[in-house]
Chain A
């Protein structure tokens, strides 16, 4: 069994496409119309074009808002992405106007930071443990 795809709910798929590609630097993999206005929209890391896809899934279900609002209020991220240098990535993203709710924090071997993806979620970046 392999983890082929995971997903985050996004308020607006066009805004999510912009944020996840132009700001974060992921690459669009699939973009297929589904139903009247939704898309099957996935991105991958440019370092791993055949790696795990992230589905930017419409947040239409009524339960999603309650669930995400509660997590965001407590600062809990919904996904974690690995970066080589959290502090460098923090500076780069802040320069692009990204809002961080947790600045880089060193806890033992791992450094983490948490930002808002502008589509309703908090995302954590972390250095990969050596």
Chain B
């Protein structure tokens, strides 16, 4: 359950969902690129430290993974933890609406 708590906490914040949206567009971003996207594309006024804290929460939930490559550090999206949501509520109903059509 602890893992699920981290996951739902991470998803509960709109800025963190925007970070996930941007990482969906392109995985493997530096902190600077994530900050640029939030401030320039989304007009969010948030400090670099604030973005770092959001990334730490996303990392704790397993939704973001960091990767060091030489002197750089990149942030990758990992959607695998979201399967817990599907498995918990969606998967038991194996027959979708299409199956009900005659």
Contact = CB atoms under 8 A, between A and B. Distances in A.
B15 interface: no
B71 A102 contact: no
B26 A69 contact: no
B32 interface: yes
Measured as residues with beta carbon below 8 angstroms from the partner, the interface class of chain A is 10 to 19
Interface string B32-44: 1100110011000
B72 interface: yes
Given A73-B72, A73-B73, A107-B41, A114 B32 contact: yes
A69 B68 CA distance: 13
Interface residues of B, number: 15
Interface in A10-45: none
Contacts of B36: 102, 105, 107, 112
Nearest to B38: A107
Interface string A101-121: 111010110101010000000
A101 B37 CA distance: 15
B70 to A, nearest CB: 9
Interface in B32-63: 32-33, 36-37, 40-41, 48
B32 A107 contact: no
Nearest to A103: B26
B31 interface: yes
Contacts of B73: 73-75
A44 B30 CA distance: 29
Nearest to A76: B32
A76 B34 CA distance: 11
Given A69-B71, A74-B73, 9 more contacts: A74-B31, A76-B30, A76-B31, A101-B72, A102-B29, A102-B30, A105-B37, A107-B37, A114-B32
Interface of B: 26, 29-33, 36-37, 40-41, 48, 71-74
